[in-house]
Structure 1
Amino acid sequence: MVHLRRGRPLPRERRSDAPVEQAPVLATLTHLLRDAGLGDRQAFSRLYDETCPSLFDLVLRVVRDPSLAEDVVRATYVEVWTHSGRFQETSQSPLSWIIGLGYTRALASRSPI
């Protein structure tokens, strides 16, 4: 089992019943990201809980190494915490922004062939 923080496991498999980002979820993530940008640690924790499984699944598919995927996810959330003010609500959803940061980091972390 993979653990990133506070003993919370990440799922190894993508759940087929995982909800697609819908309007109420989108609004909640937007508020959480905005509040995290203002230094609200509880909002950041909730944002992490809501988005980490999706991010980890994607990063693991890119890097194909669970340990490296954990490192990339950690670094991505450090970037989310420090740069959440860069998020532009009008151009993308919070999940898309976080996934984009993680995907870019995952690609950069892969060793050259």
Structure 2
Amino acid sequence: MNHLDPVPSDVPERGMSEGRVLADLLRTCARGGDAAFADLYDRTSARVYGLVLRVVRDPAQAEEVTQECFLEIWRTSSRFELARGSALAWMMTIAHRRAVDRVRAAESARQRETVYEERNRPVNHDSTAEVVQASFEARRVRSALAGLTPIQRQAVELAYLGGCTHTEVAVLLDLPLGTAKTRIRDGLIRLRDVLGVGGAR
């Protein structure tokens, strides 16, 4: 492109915040912008991979899941709504869900490999009760999370399910560090009240 050519409309302007740039790139992806998607990938793939690796703990699987994440991001980019959270937070939510799904799938595969042994093992009623109780608690936590605001839920999930530090949560949600800490604490207080447990961390 020579100096007389017009600048393409899908190229983010200089001086824009990263959050605005990523949001604009996602909107362009929704209209089929291949160049915008390549730019989006270059800007965010390292962070997406880092979160996925933290969950799946295996570099090879993390690479596979990261590619799956970006395929989903490309296919569903039209569903992104800036009013519900930052572009990066939306992408990281997809990444975290995909990573958790991979871990669950691997666990299911391991369980299938040992199903014969499990079926022939004497039933430990105490252990069965613990499993039922844990499943019940997990449902309560999911229900409580659904009652948080989108920002609170994203902050809590990144901090306590994704293993991110407060600083990382602030960067991912495009928030000041103090605001991110407040969102996490508010979310934990609300979870504590719904679940009826001890004080927030």
TM-score by length of 2: 0.44
Q: Which residue of 2 aligns with 1:68?
A: 61
Q: More helix per residue: 1 or 2?
A: 2
Q: What is the CA distance between 1:78 and its match in structure 2?
A: 0.5
**Residue from 49, 55, 80 that aligns with 1:87:** 80
In structure 2, C-alpha distance between the alignment counterparts of 1:92 and 1:35, rounded to whole Å:
18
Q: Which residue of 2 aligns with 1:103?
A: 96
Q: Give per-residue Cα distances to partners, 1:61-98, cap 9 Å, x unaligned.
A: 10011110011000010001111011111001110011
Q: More strand per residue: 1 or 2?
A: 1
Q: What is the CA distance between 1:24 and its match in structure 2?
A: 0.7
Letter in 2 for 1:93: S
Gapped regions of structure 2 (runs ≥ 5): 1-15, 111-201
RMSD (Å), alpha carbons: 1.2
Q: Which residue of 2 aligns with 1:43?
A: 36
Gapped regions of structure 1 (runs ≥ 5): 1-22
Letter in 1 for 2:69: T
The structure, 1 or 2, with the larger RCO (C-alpha pairs under 8 Å, 6+ apart) is: 1
Q: What is the CA distance between 1:35 and its match in structure 2?
A: 0.3
Q: What is the CA distance between 1:28 and its match in structure 2?
A: 0.5
Q: Size of the alignment, in residue pairs?
A: 91
Q: Which has the larger radius of gyration?
A: 2
